[in-house]
Structure 1
Amino acid sequence: MSPKRFLMEFAVVMVVYILCVVVSSSFVRSMPDGAARIALALLPVIPMIAMAVSIIRRLNAMDEMGRKIQLDALAVAFVCTALTTFSYGFLETAGFPRLSAFMVWPIMGGVWCVATIIGTRRYE
């Protein structure tokens, strides 16, 4: 998969994801408890699965250097996210406000992007 095609596919999936989040968050609280409410709450997971498949396909299409850069970036993202969330967990015991688990992916994704940019520039 070419980088251009990946970016287009990723952008489309992100738009669908955002729409699913808006629909889900707009209506889930007004629904009665039950299977339909659970399904609506999980609606954004469907495009997230498509996003994961797209990312894995892109990784599989990369050459060895691209894979090394991504592995390094993912390792940095994993470690930074683990340290950040673990540290904040201790701060919560000191009275800091509780944060949602929704914060994990933005931290990991952001660090992954920055580490990928740095890794790519390092090998240019």
Structure 2
Amino acid sequence: MDWAELRLAVPRNGGAWPSDTPRIAGLSSFGVSGTNAHAVMEAINTDGAPASSPNRRALAYASDHREAAGYVAGLYEELGFDAVDASPLSESWPLEHPRPAFPIFPVTKERLFAYLTTARRAA
């Protein structure tokens, strides 16, 4: 593979994101016990709003680890989004695409919570 020709970077330390490129990143975690996780993320930083804003966008998260869940919730809040906890992972299936709690449009905390609590498993 010719890495020089790819529009791909493997950062080794923090730095500014080029302003002329989309903010899309991949994250992979390979656990010793065989647990692997992969995510592709695209910047959503234009939708953030102060905590008291009406119709503030909500994002859901799920984890079996309280410390990790708290970190993600804090990060969402810091970026201007309401955090909705869908933990534990075993019960986070409503967040899967194309379930109702996987909205492709911005939703409020109340609506996202309603989607999570009213979702039904497929038969």
- Shorter-chain TM-score above 0.5: no
Determine which structure has greater relative contact order: mean sequence separation of CA pairs < 8 Å that are 6+ residues apart, divided by chain length.
1
Larger relative helix fraction: 1
Normalising by the smaller structure, the TM-score range is: under 0.3
Larger relative strand fraction: 2
